[in-house]
Amino acid sequence: MRVVLLALTVWISVLSGCSNSSYEIPNGVQPVTLPDLSKLDTVAQNKITLACTSLLQMQSGEKELPAQAGELASQYATVGQLLHAYRFLDQAAICYTNAILLDPDNNLSWNYLLAQIFLTTNNKLAAVKHLKEAERVCLMLEKKTPDLLHAIYYYMGDAYLSLHQLEKAKLAFEEALHYQNSAIVHWGLGKIALTTNPESSINHLQNALKLNPTARNTHYSLMMAYNKIGNQRQAHLHKTAFEQGGIELTIADKLMRAIEDLRDTPAALRARGDSALFLSGDYPTAIKLYTEALQNAPKDPSLHLNLGVAKFRLGLLGDATTHFNNTLEIDPQHSRALTGLALIAISENNIAAALSQLKKAVAIEPNNREIRKTYVNTLLQNNNPTAAIEHLQHIMDLFPADQQAMTLLIYCQLADQRFDNAQRQLEIALKLFPEDGSIAYYGVYAFSAGPEIQRDISRATALVNKLGSDIRVVAEGYLLAGQGMYAKAASSEKRLKTTHNLEHYSNSMLPQIINYDEL
């Protein structure tokens, strides 16, 4: 506190003695201090220190102020952007505020960026204030900037949503759609409706999904909406899509992209590449950033790996193969590079090669859940549920409440006619996830279609009543066949567009289990 007060005292004295300037310093302008840079790499430390030097010299009286207030505002804004880029948000906010006060007629960018800091620090009211000022200035410009207005209204709507001011949030999101039809705004409207009218929220969320089918946050919101209206089948589908990964919805934001571009040290390039790849799904940007980072760290296996992942997701399979192989040249035991090569083999329908690579990856990293799940899914794609059982059991040993692994384990046990094991696992699953449609579906088969001594028709009947649509028709066939009513089971099966067990029922045979996800 003493250091800050001393700096402020010096700053005031400098201003009061500044006879060479043609302007008065407005009230509210504060001195900026050099933050603790010790956690940054040397390149970043030098870059920030150099940028701050001129302002620090002015504040100490070693250097005169610029002749015009706008020049001083520009210097504050430039330093503020750099501090913002490296997450020194308190000092960046001071710089932006000073720039706004010193040059009130040229403050669009600084108000917008200051609002971004307040959004990050969860000061939503302050964020709205500066977004409104940015909106006002933007609308006054002769040349409108639709992309910026779209971003302003989206962030305004999101802030109002956090403040539970739903009508204001709705109006802001609708205004954003006037400038650009984007998935993230439809998602925002869907979140508003989710609290009051889940059915109408589904329309907004489906619009978001059409624009960006791989967005995890949209799938999560759809799962919640379908759960609220009791459609467990759709809720399960979106839950699965959410768990399988994807990207997080983001907004095209040129001003914030320019801020991010200031972080160009090797460590920063890596971090920005990771964000572009794994969060926003901006694969071209990720490729650009990783490529730049590799120039300074050509032997970093993780950079080669992530570059391979980005190119794989763009469909550049040859380039991706090269990068995964480069990773393995540096680190022959890199399980994720082996998994990457397996995914390429799967995309080329070379299942045997994929299984070979995944077997090696699992041996190297036996407790990696995602690699084992990839192995399991590939085994199932190869119609080998029996081999998948041991891997699913390993996952369950490590993560006893993994719903996806538990459900697949039950399916594989039933496909392998291990009814005792499947029924024991179902007892646990039904207690943990009593409303899950896929578990109820497998329960109908387990208690209807096994050896007669293991059948429990009353329990299977209760589980059928939890199901709907075509899933229920399939399950009713299991239940009827388990009671020896094969003609009725066949009649029920004929109601389906695609039949699965009609031949079995016609020949008075018990049905085969059909994977829930294939129905």
Q: Is 6 exposed, middle or buried (0-12, 13-18, 19+ CB in 10 A)?
A: exposed
Which residue from 437, 464, 42, 37 is spatially nearest to 265, judged by alpha carbons? 42
Q: What pLDDT does residue 243 have? A: 82
Q: What is the mean pLDDT of residues 399-411?
A: 94
Reported as a single tens digit per residue, the pLDDT across 113-146 is 999 999 999 999 999 999 999 999 998 886 678 9
Q: What is the mean pLDDT of residues 247-257?
A: 89
Average pLDDT score over the chain: 91
Which residue from 341, 329, 268 is spatially nearest to 298, judged by alpha carbons? 329
Q: What pLDDT does residue 5 have? A: 40
Amino acid identity of residue 54, one-letter, is S
To the nearest whole percent, how much of the chain has pLDDT over 70? 95
CA distance 385 to 382: 8
Residue 321 near residue 350 (C-beta atoms within 8 A) = no
Which of residues 348 and 241 earns the better pLDDT score? 348
- In a domain, residue 487? The reply is yes
Q: What pLDDT does residue 247 have? A: 84
Q: What is the mean pLDDT of residues 386-415?
A: 95
Residue 418: helix, strand or coil by DSSP? coil
Whether the pLDDT of residue 22 is over 90: the answer is no
Crossing angle, helix 69-85 and helix 108-120, to 10 degrees? 30
Residue 106's pLDDT band (boundaries 50, 70, 90)? confident
- In a domain, residue 287? The reply is no
Residue 413: helix, strand or coil by DSSP? helix
Q: What is the DSSP string of 77-93?
A: HHHHHHHHHTT-HHHHH
Q: What pLDDT does residue 517 have? A: 86
Which of residues 233 and 501 earns the better pLDDT score? 501
Q: What pLDDT does residue 140 have? A: 86
- In a domain, residue 364? The reply is no
Whether the pLDDT of residue 20 is over 70: the answer is no
Residue ranges making up the domain that contains 75? 1-106
Neighbours of 28 (CB within 10 A): 10
Residue 1's pLDDT band (boundaries 50, 70, 90)? very low
Q: What is the mean pLDDT of residues 451-466?
A: 93
- In a domain, residue 84? The reply is yes
Reported as a single tens digit per residue, the pLDDT across 305-335 is 999 999 999 999 999 999 999 999 999 999 9
Q: How many domains does the chain have?
A: 2
CATH number at 454 reads 1.25.40.10
CA distance 444 to 460: 4
Q: What pLDDT does residue 18 have? A: 46
* Least confident stretch, 71-75, 143-147, 473-477: 143-147
At residue 293, what are phi and psi to the nearest 5 degrees? -65, -35
Q: What pLDDT does residue 4 have? A: 42
Residue 236's pLDDT band (boundaries 50, 70, 90)? confident
CA distance 99 to 282: 32
Burial 43-78 (b: 16+ CB within 10 A, else e): ebeebbeebbeebbebbeeeeebbeebeebbbbbbb
Reported as a single tens digit per residue, the pLDDT across 266-316 is 788 888 899 889 888 889 999 999 999 999 889 999 999 999 999 999 999
- In a domain, residue 489? The reply is yes
Q: What is the mean pLDDT of residues 146-151?
A: 94
Q: What pLDDT does residue 143 have? A: 66
CA distance 199 to 214: 22
Burial 344-368 (b: 16+ CB within 10 A, else e): bbbeeeebeebbebbebbbebbeeb
Q: What pLDDT does residue 14 have? A: 47
- In a domain, residue 276? The reply is no
Q: What pLDDT does residue 10 have? A: 41
Q: What pLDDT does residue 61 have? A: 85
CA distance 47 to 31: 20
Last residue of a domain, one of 84, 106, 128: 106
Residue 394: helix, strand or coil by DSSP? helix
Last residue of a domain, one of 78, 106, 134: 106
The pTM is what?
0.71
- In a domain, residue 451? The reply is yes
Last residue of a domain, one of 106, 137, 165: 106
CA distance 352 to 199: 45
Query: What are the Cα distances from residue 168, in Å, to 131, 134, 184, 245?
Result: 14, 17, 17, 32
Residue 215: helix, strand or coil by DSSP? strand
Q: What pLDDT does residue 395 have? A: 96
Residue 117 near residue 109 (C-beta atoms within 8 A) = no
Q: What pLDDT does residue 232 have? A: 82
Q: What is the mean pLDDT of residues 334-354?
A: 97
Q: Of 42-46, 112-116, 240-244, give the range with the top mean pLDDT.
A: 112-116
Whether the pLDDT of residue 474 is over 80: the answer is yes
